[in-house]
Structure 1
């Protein structure tokens, strides 16, 4: 059987007026303060400085190979090429896509325009009565 009970959960540390009144009357224990992580402060390492050509020149071949493994340069290049290729494909499809137009038709034209439309064409009908 399904459980149809609803349990109110809000942002951590927030309470409802009912909970506040019950806490004030002593029926509920006071809620603990919400957890607040310490603020992030970046360390003053050499990694925080921008890297230029001299930084690369100072590295040995082994260090550069390790850095290449860490940064996945090949993956980044592949993803960038794939992104460009996919955007080009999407632009081509957008050029070919056909959209119809809004045309008023009478009741006599309904069968020809709507019911006998080709199967690859979507037809949206807005029925109204003038007056």
Structure 2
């Protein structure tokens, strides 16, 4: 089988028909530099914001993050349990009566 990321006429046809996913755009040096600068700015703004908070505010922020993580874990676990319960169903139960003679 051919590489689906290869630039060929055949792969272009398959992309037009929706058989292959659209080709990912190549990342240029310019775009990479922009992403790097944006990430640095986000980190610096977060550090500056956290640096201005008091210890009580930092503790409250940490508690909020812990609670959000626990809620997300709970949602995932409930979804897993529901999926497991759906798989374990195997039809319906029929009450049968045995008659002895």
TM-score, normalization by structure 1: 0.29
Q: Which protein has the larger Cα radius of gyration, Structure 1 or Structure 2?
A: 1
